[in-house]
Amino acid sequence: MRLLALSPGSLQQQLERLPAIATAAEQLKATVQVACPLAHRQAWELVPAVEKVIPFNFDEGSTLADWANLLGCVREPDFQVCFNFASGRQVNLMLGMSHIPTRIALDGFATTEQVQLGSGWTAQQPSGFLQAIGLTLDADRFRLSLPAKSLDTVRAEQPRGDGPLLLMAPGGQDNDWPESHWRALPDTIRKRLPSLRSQQLTNGGKLQTRAAQVACSDVVLSSCPVTQLLAVFAGVPLVALGADATEMPQREGLRCLGDSRMGLGQLSEEDVLTALGFG
């Protein structure tokens, strides 16, 4: 069986859909193709069931020729199911001319199964897409399966020592926790835990490498929404600075601290130390 996902939006939105698509592929024993913006294809390359990523922007700048090319891509394979996260007249016209028998979306005249977003944190909300075809989603249980080579490479580049590794990943936004606090935090912790190892990630680079760095750490402190999701999908203890607790799973080892809308500069070093368990 083949499953098609039409997935517009940001990198964060792509990651939030991974559990739903990966779970559907597993339960249907299906392979998957995903149409998404080219800049975000790395998110879907983290899912082994995804056999092909089709670059497509889903914006107003897409021409009739772009939509015709996408139609050619989705008509050729034998797709049985489409999860359509896009909306608008163009995508519905394209799907209406496809041969896909089951087309699931929130709305649209080409939809065969109309669903609503479910409750729970952001990765759990697409559960209605799966329920429409008799499947179930438990996004809390989803874990990324990363290549052993990537994990081994990351471990070889970690700071030496036997102590726990604190991975720090600032988001880089204007209202982020001050850089001076990020720099000072590891030395402050070492006064209480001398064996601590620490590593700070910079923005950019390959997403698979970042996912491996997160998976190989002992605790993650991050104000970057993408890194926060990678930590959730790795099952690693996480202090998520500025994250909305309602948009994250409720589980042991995950703390949301501060409000990004108000700015994270109000958070003291002691606040973060307490959240990390050193208070």
Q: What is the CATH number of the domain that holds 128?
A: 3.40.50.2000
Range 244-254 average pLDDT: 94
Sheet holding 219-222, edge to edge: 197-200, 165-169, 219-222, 238-241, 254-257
Range 75-92 average pLDDT: 94
Same-domain status, 32 and 118: yes
Same-domain status, 8 and 130: yes
pLDDT of residue 58: 92
Range 120-140 average pLDDT: 97
d(CA 95, CA 99): 8
CA neighbor of 3 nearest in space, from 44, 31, 43, 23: 31
Residue 251: CB atoms within 10 A of its CB come to: 11
Computed over every residue of the chain, the mean pLDDT equals: 95
Percentage of residues of the chain with pLDDT beyond 90: 90
| Domain count of the fold of the chain | 2
Exposure class string for 16-32: b at 16+ Cβ within 10 A, else e: bbbbbbbbbbeebebeb
Q: Pick from 93, 108, 141: which residue ends a domain?
A: 141
279 pLDDT tier (thresholds 50, 70, 90): low
Range 57-61 average pLDDT: 85
Say whether pLDDT at 81 is over 90.
Answer: yes
List the domain range (segments joined by +) for residue 220: 148-276
Q: Pick from 94, 117, 141: which residue ends a domain?
A: 141
Q: Pick from 122, 141, 160: which residue ends a domain?
A: 141
Same-domain status, 257 and 178: yes
pLDDT of residue 261: 81
Say whether pLDDT at 20 is over 80.
Answer: yes
Same-domain status, 161 and 190: yes
Range 44-67 average pLDDT: 93
93 pLDDT tier (thresholds 50, 70, 90): very high
Same-domain status, 8 and 137: yes
Could you please report the per-residue DSSP string of 204-272?
A: -S-HHHHHHHHHT-SEEEE--HHHHHHHHHHT--EEEET--GGGS---TTEEEES-TTT-GGG--HHHH
Same-domain status, 32 and 54: yes
Same-domain status, 31 and 115: yes
Contact 258, 242 (CB under 8 A): yes
**Which of 43-52, 54-63, 270-279 is most confident?**
43-52
Same-domain status, 234 and 259: yes
pLDDT of residue 181: 96
pLDDT of residue 67: 94
Range 221-250 average pLDDT: 97
Return the minimum-mean-pLDDT range out of 28-32, 98-102, 129-133, 262-266: 262-266
Same-domain status, 137 and 233: no
Same-domain status, 169 and 76: no
Q: At what angle do helices 148-156 and 207-215 cross, to 10 degrees?
A: 70
d(CA 7, CA 9): 7
